[in-house]
Chains A and B, each alone.
Chain A
């Protein structure tokens, strides 16, 4: 049971969350292709500040963890740690084929697996590497799922 005031408060909170997703970018072992595309997404040409998306340096400030690549043995602990450092509510976007399945690195001796094996993922963006438009579309899908 929620009172009407709580209902309004929840609506305001959701509105604020949808309109101000601050992101942090983490490479858990990818070939850098996806990272270059993510950086291209943040350039003035695509201007994601239009949607309120801002790249943050500190995981404590971020809402969305944008992850690329398969998870290597080295990166697994760091990925989990960064995920745990983020304050609730937090979301994860896995960018690129490797983040979905391990990609060409699947079964390598140094690879744990895909990102979903290590931390819960909200949205997967396929592509090798995905275009900046696809990454923006993925984040928009995440925001839409928040709204409903």
Chain B
């Protein structure tokens, strides 16, 4: 679907800004409710994320001693800004991306990983030992999933010969769905997304049974609220990205809804199925299996692109 909006509306209201924040809250609710239902619980009420957010924003923000004050206040804002900016290049809600240029895939992936970087910096900024351990783990985990995640998204990009998210989204629907053509890439992208969001099997960086609350231990009130909403929005953007690449593109809001909800169903199942991995297990999983399989698939795709035109059956797969 193609609509053009005035830039200010695009930034503040529709694909960016307000609607994005609200959809972040809605998806957090859906995620928590699904996990609760998988665990045979009733789960939170529909306004739970909103109540959490308002409560956190209304709470006192403690600035602990020993931190660089400006950095402490500024980091949550940078994290949220990066995530909101990333949304402008992604086909949110099934509409055409608000802005696009060739190669915006790389920019989007970088903007999405800025969140983890900010969390790592926030943890390293405080003197608290739990924050420090959490920050180390968050950054270690980032180095393990980031490369396979990028390679997984590059699969469709190389197969279609364009690094523009909008073009890939439009072209993905016309070919064989990439979840069938590149199942390994789909798996790596989805699980990498869970690692990015520090969802359950990959939540060693904020393991509350060992290191209190990880890198965000010292954050209270406003800072915590901004990091949380940033992560919610990152969930929506990540699901949109994976759905548009691997599930045949997003042509309309209805497409967006059912495709992202199916992905959410799968991630919620994975969250409730698996227990937390140790940080060395996470790194081992990605570098021993994830990266090698993804690299093998990437090489196959590159070979396929050279050989493909000579074999009529393979076409542009």
Contacts and interface: CB of A to CB of B under 8 A. Distances in A.
A56 interface: yes
Contact of B45 (A12, A52, A85, A88): A52
The secondary structure that dominates the A interface is: mixed
A133 interface: no
Contacts of B53: 16
A16 B45 CA distance: 13
Given A15-B51, A20-B48, A58 B212 contact: yes
Interface string A3-37: 00000000011011101101000000000000000
A13 B213 contact: no
A145 B55 CA distance: 17
Contacts of B224: 60-61
Interface residues of B, number: 35
A15 B53 CA distance: 12
A50 B47 contact: no
Contact of B62 (A12, A44, A56, A85): A85
A56 B213 contact: yes
Contacts of A19: 45, 47-48, 51, 55
Interface size class of A (residues with CB under 8 A): 20 to 34
B213 A57 contact: yes
A44 B35 CA distance: 11
A114 interface: no
Interface in B32-48: 32, 36, 39-45, 47-48
Which of A13, A20, A63 counts the most B-chain CB atoms under 10 A from its CB?
A20
Given A47-B43, A50-B42, A56-B213, A87 B221 contact: yes
Contact of A13 (B54, B60, B61): B54
